[in-house]
């Protein structure tokens, strides 16, 4: 009987951390998309630079949240470590993206942003296609 209760608790924890992981990936994808929108405003509006700068901080925070969610889905939930590697890779890409943006290197900054959005969409599609208890 205690084993069944433990299994039920583990399933609930796994579902909860997997949902948190999905939300974190969705938030990251949304913030990267909004960065593309604010980049367009950067070229056309006086407030575009401020919006893009604030958005960069929010996108970086979303990438850190993705790492946290991946670790929580892996360690306590007993899931696969693969999402942790993916999330860490996104955080590295986000770090490079911030450095390139500050250095004003649009020839690499823009394509990297497009790549990040595509990879984030792919991660979101993969995660959305899986049942809540699987990793």
Cα–Cα distance measured from residue 90 to residue 84, given in angstroms and rounded to the nearest whole number: 10
Nearest to 97 by CA among 46, 31, 43, 41: 31
Cα–Cα distance measured from residue 134 to residue 58, given in angstroms and rounded to the nearest whole number: 29
| Burial (0-12, 13-18, 19+ Cβ within 10 Å), 119 | middle
* 13-27, 44-58, 75-89 — most confident range: 44-58
Q: What is the DSSP letter of 131?
A: -
- The CA–CA distances, whole Å, from 129 to 24, 56, 66 equal 15, 28, 18
| Burial (0-12, 13-18, 19+ Cβ within 10 Å), 91 | middle
Listed range (15-19, 41-45, 60-64) with the worst mean pLDDT? 15-19
Query: How does pLDDT run across 47-70, given as a tens digit for each residue?
Result: 999 999 999 999 999 999 999 999
Q: What is the pLDDT of residue 18?
A: 79
């Amino acid at each position: 009987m205690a084993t069944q209760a433990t299994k039920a608790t583990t399933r609930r924890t796994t579902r909860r951390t997997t949902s948190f992981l999905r939300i974190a990936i969705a938030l990251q994808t949304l913030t990267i998309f909004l960065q593309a929108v604010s980049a367009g405003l950067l070229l056309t509006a006086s407030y575009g630079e401020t919006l893009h700068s604030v958005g960069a901080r929010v996108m970086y925070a979303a990438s850190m949240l993705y790492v946290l969610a991946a670790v929580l889905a892996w360690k306590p939930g007993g899931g696969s470590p693969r999402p942790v590697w993916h999330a860490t890779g996104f955080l590295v890409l986000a770090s490079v993206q911030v450095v390139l943006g500050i250095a004003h290197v649009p020839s690499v900054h823009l394509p990297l942003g497009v790549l990040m959005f595509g990879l984030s969409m792919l991660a979101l599609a993969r995660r959305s296609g899986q049942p809540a208890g699987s990793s």
